Structure 1
């Protein structure tokens, strides 16, 4: 079977976090910049509208001074006061004309002298102010008229529309301004309208005059927030983009760093760097080799020989433990099949398997391929269930172990007594051997409680008719204690450390044949 790794994650899954981490500081930064730009625009609009009101009030104040001077002249003959009216026009800035009214009849104008026109007080907001779109003399130029009335006397002072438009357009050319008097309003384009006042989409501010019945509205057009932000904060925006790139790059680097063990394991698998080491298992009665546990080692090109505890957890987590075990079985078969004559019949060869191996039936085919390399019945293949991951009993796992037993494969529970699932395995699966964990063996002669647990495990295996293998034998005292209690198979440094393939084969050939 090909030893390949299928990529299970799509591009979007692999890079979604990178994209999000890059966008997050940019989006948050732009949001903060936009918020600050909006606040700044509101401040600008408020300052602009305040200045506009100040200037309009100043214009109307000049007009009000003119009304105060000429109001007492109302009722006199126009020819007698005409020069006085024109004098106020020349003296007062922004004033276009001064007109006298008697009983709501305009009868004298600084522009035309005698003039007759009816004055409608309802045209004036609060009786004081009227924004006209024009008059017969200047039909396209708006006029702002200030009215003052006292009994029968009245004065009308008109202000140039040109000055009004200048204020609206020149205070801040980026700010949209309009002057509203009642229902009428004008903007920088100088056309008086009575349509609804437009709403400015950005930072709209409205400020009424405290002295006269009008208000000024300021704001900005759509998109001004971003135009303002890019104009005022280019360095900050560039910084946000830079931080986004750095964030995305950092996350990508961390992803590569986090996933590098898997990539390195895949590379090592393809390069054939995972090799078998063999630790002999001896019979307790005569110390003859009864089998060997096949242990995986990583012959790394730079790090040298890597301990299994440094890479096996990564292999199990990534799912690579399955093809790695398959490779180990293939290498073992290739190495030991030619040495079959040096092994006594029934020689045990054991491999560790995990929950990952029990997720499909491919393990059956791997075992069948392995057994075919040897003469029928010459060896015993033993699969040792490790408990780093729980093997969940299911219809699939029961089918798997049933087919393995049909092949003659034997099942052992590794490190029995330390995992939470050992007793459950005895109940669910047809187990052949128990391997007593070395932590119990190490307590022989040292800890009474552990000795009782050890004895209980040995007694349990005898009642269940299971074979027992004790691991971690390092002293003669441990060996003799276990042999005396009927433990048939021993494994540990007392007999041999894990050996590379060449040393194991040499030792296997040199071992004397077992006496029958």
Structure 2
């Protein structure tokens, strides 16, 4: 067999390799996607939590600040006269513990205790010296030592030693405002200046002591405070959550690998089937007559391969030929065709003027095996008919080596360029390859009488070949108009459904006998079979 068991095993190995690579790629991509999503989700939750706490604290401080604007005119008035107003306004804001009035650096009135006499700078030096607006401060009287938040509003810039001081019971509020959310925030801390207050703690601590495991900090745009979140970083949380996503990612990767494995099965099975078909002679050789345009006689045949698979039925050459080329089976196919033709040489006319044409891919020349095949398959049969190799253009003709062509010429082998005017063909190849025949592509033949541009190209090709003294064969002749057009332009030979469809090689002798008998009887030249219906070109 052409494809050995080792080769088949290699194909299977490559299928598994490709499927495995795709599966692993899908697995890694899925896990990375989930990892990235988890990181983004954690960071987003941290931002949302910090922003929500910041907004709540802003909403808590804003009413007090607005109320302070109404309280500032009371600064300097006797404490006894303003006490009812202070208590009423403090009661309106449940977060407030007390409102203090400060005049000339002295706290002289409190909404809780009335008349006071404390030096403001002794208790709140940063508010006076550093001129800050807000700070965390231990309670001085009520529940002494518990955290409070003080908001200082001076009377004006010139009178910074007089103003209104709002005291908030932040220690109690912190249990509601600063509650963390697991797993992305183990601790939530309020920072004001150099002091911090953490959820669940009853003491104010230095901000510098809160640096470990800091993940995110949100700064208030209106007040001088920030909210910090502490806990594991987003990447650690994403990695910890990754095992939960492995089952789904694994299922997706296995499904993708299975789909890839199945999708390559048809290709592999087809190539394996090609090898099997070659070994078991499943390919059938067909031939299509080539008619001399001057005398109407059959000048030769083009041999073709047809494949009827036992399971899939007839398989188009447009399917198995490209696959054979892709998987290095085109040379065995050509060798099979040549061997079958040699075995049936007795079916063809025994005259040197009759030639048998075989399509050969340029790859066949790369390994120099075409010369060896002719020496070992064609020449030992000592055929009367001539052999013509039609060089197909699925690969660049430049790959064909001049020395090989010279050797073929010495063997008496003719060379034709198939489908000239399409594919890789160019005028430079005519000089390099020195072909004996140019075959006009059926697309140009079909344009005769219908497409002025392609008809002009056809005329150009004909003129070029005649000037270079090359034989011309026109493919795809389907109508009498086309045959007459080409005959008048002295195209040497015609091939197409107008004369005969491709037929099994063993049918050719009877067709040839009938055709030549009819030709002698009628004296007609280059006419289709009498009474034969026109063939469908797409059949």
TM more than 0.5: yes
1:348 and 2:355 matched:
yes
Offset at residue 431 of structure 1 (A): 1.6
Task: Find out whether 1:119 has 2:130 as its counterpart.
Answer: no
1:293 maps to what in 2? 302
State the distance in 1 between where 2:420 and 2:166 align.
108
Match of 2:522 in 1: none
Trace 1:59-208 onto structure 2 (pairs within 5 A). 119=122, 121-124=124-127, 126=131, 131=136, 162-163=171-172, 165-170=174-179, 176-190=187-201, 191-196=203-208, 198=211, 200-202=214-216, 204-206=218-220
After superposition, the Cα gap between the structure-2 partners of 1:200 and 1:52, relative to the gap in structure 1 and judged at 3 Å, is farther
**Deviation at 1:37?**
6.7
The CA deviation at 1:143 is 6.0
Match of 1:271 in 2: 277
Q: Which moved more, 1:292-301 or 1:360-369?
A: 360-369
Aligned equivalents of 1:455, 1:171: Cα separation in 2: 86
Counterpart for residue 498 of structure 1: 502
Length-normalised TM-score, structure 1: 0.62
Distance 1:439 1:128 in 2: 90
Alpha-carbon distance, 1:218 to partner: 4.6
Alignment partner of 1:391 is 2:394: no
In 1: Cα distance, 2:104 partner to 2:390 partner: 117
C-alpha displacement of 1:383: 0.7
SS where residue 296 of structure 1 aligns?
strand
> Where do residues 473-484 of structure 1 align in structure 2 (5 Å cutoff)?
none
Distance 2:79 2:486 in 1: 134
Instruction: Report how far residue 411 of structure 1 moved.
Output: 0.7
Query: How far off its partner does 1:277 sit?
Result: 0.9
Cα distance between partner residues in 2 of 1:303 and 1:267: 11
Report the secondary structure of 2:314's partner residue. strand
Whole-Å separation in 2 of the counterparts to 1:172 and 1:451: 81
Q: Report if aligned partners of 2:274, 2:320 keep a CA contact under 8 Å in 1.
A: no
RMSD of aligned residue pairs (Cα, Å): 6.7
What residue is the counterpart of 2:84 in the other structure?
none
Deviation at 1:384, TM superposition (A): 0.7
Asked whether the equivalents of residues 168 and 178 of structure 1 are also in contact (C-alpha less than 8 Å), the reply is no
Aligned to 1:85: none
Deviation, structure 1 residue 290: 5.2
Distance 1:482 1:20 in 2: 58
Q: Deviations over 1:189-228 (max 9, x none)?
A: 524332436495347343654xxxx624154644469979
Counterparts of 1:395-414 in structure 2 under 5 Å? 397-414=401-418
SS of the residue corresponding to residue 431 of structure 2 reads helix
TM-score (norm 2): 0.60
Q: Which runs of 5+ in 1 are unaligned?
A: 63-67, 75-91
Selected match of 2:225 from 197, 212, 215: 215
What stretches of structure 2 of length at least 5 have no aligned partner?
68-73, 81-92, 517-539
Q: Matched residues in 1 for 2:99 and 2:476: separation? A: 117
Q: CA deviation at 1:328?
A: 2.6
Alpha-carbon distance between aligned partners in 2 of 1:103 and 1:483, rounded to the nearest angstrom: 123
Question: What residue is the counterpart of 2:524 in the other structure?
Answer: none
- In the superposition, relative to structure 1, how do residues 452 and 98 fare at CA in structure 2: closer, same or farther (>3 Å)? closer
Q: How far is the alpha carbon of 1:351 from its aligned partner?
A: 1.1
**What's the CA shift for 1:504?**
3.8
Answer whether contact 2:96 2:169 (CA < 8 A) is retained: yes
Q: Does structure 2 retain, via aligned residues, the 8 Å contact 1:440–1:451?
A: no
**d(CA) in 2 for partners of 1:42, 1:437:** 70
> Are the structure 2 counterparts of residues 223 and 10 from structure 1 closer, same or farther at C-alpha, using a change threshold of 3 Å?
farther
Aligned length: 483
